[in-house]
Structure 1
Amino acid sequence: MQLVRGLHNLRPLNRGCVATIGNFDGVHRGHQAILARLRERSAELGVPSCVVIFEPQPREFFTPDGAPPRLSRLRDKVALLTAQGVDRVLCLAFNRRLRELSAAEFVQQVLVDGLAVQHLEVGDDFRFGCDRAGDFAFLAEAGAREGFTVEAAHTVELDGLRVSSTGVRSALANGDFVLAEHLLGRPFVITGRVLHGQKLGRQLNAPTANVQLKRKRVPLKGVYLVSAQVDGKVYPGVANIGVRPSVAGDGSAHLEVHLLDFAGDLYGRRLPVTFHRKLRDEQRFASLEALKAAIAADIAAARAHWQGQPLK
């Protein structure tokens, strides 16, 4: 899979493709249905498939403090799109210049001059261009004029539920990991590099891996049963994700993972953390002793759970 960062990095060999446009946050089963159609059109026309995404996502540009939590960072999103058989990802920097492009300019510069799109898959409610002036009808007219076809990707429902990134976030916020996995088509995972932290876990008899989140907001907050794969072996564990109210910090979210019966050095490694069940909300404790007791209880609960339901 080829990742192209910005229109200026497109080359003549990148011209001629079938494409879709969107955030693709989480690459859930609704997205997967669009990508399946994209693969079909790619095979029919004998040209590569391309997914056009934005970084940051538009709502993060317009309202950085009010944008929804990310399900997947860019690196994770690209990996998920690769797993879906996408040939190319064009990542456009969503900045003032892109925001001010009219719908006609976006079509001309991105779809026609940049990608030479032959077929386009978009949601029937897709809006684009300055002030969101462009819509499906605008694209269909432009396609008829410029020589590319446009198809509407309709909403996907599973058991009567609309599949959406918002729905996944809601399931995660409610601790419903069964529903989240149903909508995603896989368990929810956060992957990040293990960094050096305050080493407080050692004082609390619970050494933890401090996993880099690299996002302003996260869709989870609390203490969870998790698992993580290290060198081909899956270890059960318990994790806290939140602002650590009992410890002086910078107020940003942190993910700290304690793997049961693991001994080794994880610093500098990328650790994929799979979330299975919520144990409790994040709490503020009056003392480190109280925090230590709570962590011991969390670890005991995790051990009891994993002994009753061993990881496969």
Structure 2
Amino acid sequence: MEVIHNYHNFPENIATVVTIGTFDGVHVGHRKILDQLFKEAKAKGLKSVLLTFFPHPRMVVQSDNSIKLINTIDERIDILSKTDLDYLVIQPFDRDFSNLSAFDFVRDVLVTRLNVKELVVGYDHRFGKNREGDFEQLKEYSHTFDFKIKEIKAQDINNTAVSSTKVRNALNTGEIEIANQYLTTPFFINGIVVKGQQLGATIGYPTANIEISEVYKLTPKNGVYVILATHKEQNYYGMLNIGNRPTVNGKDKTIEAHIFDFDFNIYGEDIKIEFLYYLREEEKFYSIEALKEQLAVDKKNSLNYIQNLTQNKAS
């Protein structure tokens, strides 16, 4: 997969099948669109292109900095690089680009620069200034500019149409297994291990304090999770707490992972955390000893979950 920043830089004379969207999470609905994209490209001898946007359009058009994304742009690149996609075009989304009319977007971006021969879009796709363009307009423009168009219907799981918003809602309510079912792979974060107060080490549960640099990256609901940590391409199970550490009157939200069978100094190093299961809400305990007792229960429950998980994978 080749990554191209700005549609103006797309190479000339390459005929394409294109899909468009933010693709936050690259969930099962997105996967269905991509599968159709690859199928059409292979059948017609064309190159597959995903035109995506960064920052998220809502951050620009609505000046909404409250929106949190399932993936950072680098995470999205990494996920898509593992597919059969030929070109990922990341369009810087700014006011000028947002003011392109639906007609100008199709003519100038899709036809003139991306040389589209077929367009694959989701059932609810909107485009152009103020999201004025819809599927009916695309059908009109496909005749004007001589390209084909295919619409993908909603992908359902348990009778629920999947969307990035529904994935975010599941993460925000601690329904991590539902979110992972939608995403097809576990939700994850990438961060740097930084020094904390090191309280965990004094009570037998040392933690890696994880700092995420991208302020727009979503973190799940506060609480305790079973996780899979990846450090230098090695995997380790563990448990993780997101919250304000009320037992010690903490004020700032922290992400602290206790990694099982792990005894390395990794301050300043990168780590990836996959969220597997939501164990419990964050609590305030009346003493450090009571917290320690609960952590022992959490570890036991985590190990039971991991044992069942590994057995199911082996069967």
- TM bucket normalised to smaller: 0.7 to 0.9
- Alpha carbons 2:194, 2:211 under 8 Å: kept: no
Aligned to 1:241: 242
Counterparts of 1:41 and 1:3, CA distance in 2: 21
Q: Residues 101 and 263 of structure 1: is their aligned pair in 2 closer, same or farther, counting only changes over 3 Å?
A: same
- TM-score when normalising by structure 2: 0.86
Aligned to 2:219, what secondary structure does the other structure show? coil
Aligned to 1:157: 156
Query: Aligned match of 2:303 in 296, 306, 309?
Result: 306
- 2:297 equivalent to 1:297: no
State the Cα distance separating 1:43 from its structure 2 match: 0.3
Which structure 1 segments of 5+ residues have no match?
none
Aligned to 2:192: 194
- Alpha carbons 2:18, 2:119 under 8 Å: kept: yes
Aligned to 2:221, what secondary structure does the other structure show? coil
Counterparts of 1:171 and 1:24, CA distance in 2: 17
Aligned to 1:266: 266
Aligned to 1:194, what secondary structure does the other structure show? strand
The within-5 A match list for 1:113-124 is 113-124=112-123
The within-5 A match list for 1:68-87 is 69-87=68-86
Identity of aligned residues (%): 31
Which structure 2 segments of 5+ residues have no match?
311-315
- Alpha carbons 2:194, 2:210 under 8 Å: kept: no
Counterparts of 2:244 and 2:20, CA distance in 1: 34
Q: Residues 9 and 206 of structure 1: is their aligned pair in 2 closer, same or farther, counting only changes over 3 Å?
A: farther
2:40 partner letter: R
State the Cα distance separating 1:5 from its structure 2 match: 1.1
1:194 partner letter: I
Report the more deviating stretch, 20-29 or 179-188.
Answer: 179-188
- TM-score when normalising by structure 1: 0.86
Aligned to 1:19, what secondary structure does the other structure show? strand
State the Cα distance separating 1:204 from its structure 2 match: 5.6
Counterparts of 1:56 and 1:242, CA distance in 2: 27
2:126 partner letter: R
Aligned to 1:93: 92
Counterparts of 1:198 and 1:189, CA distance in 2: 21
2:227 partner letter: V
State the Cα distance separating 1:71 from its structure 2 match: 1.2
Q: Could you give the per-residue CA deviations for residues 39-98 of structure 1, whole angstroms, max 9, x where no partner exists?
A: 01110121211111111111233242442x311111111121122211111111111111
State the Cα distance separating 1:202 from its structure 2 match: 4.0
Q: Could you give the per-residue CA deviations for residues 97-116 of structure 1, whole angstroms, max 9, x where no partner exists?
A: 11111111211221012211
Q: Residues 299 and 70 of structure 1: is their aligned pair in 2 closer, same or farther, counting only changes over 3 Å?
A: farther
Report the more deviating stretch, 154-163 or 172-181.
Answer: 172-181
Report the more deviating stretch, 298-307 or 155-164.
Answer: 298-307
2:250 partner letter: V
Counterparts of 1:194 and 1:296, CA distance in 2: 29
Q: Residues 212 and 50 of structure 1: is their aligned pair in 2 closer, same or farther, counting only changes over 3 Å?
A: farther
Number of aligned residue pairs? 303
Q: Could you give the per-residue CA deviations for residues 247-282 of structure 1, whole angstroms, max 9, x where no partner exists?
A: 244xxx542211022111333443221212223333
Counterparts of 1:30 and 1:248, CA distance in 2: 38
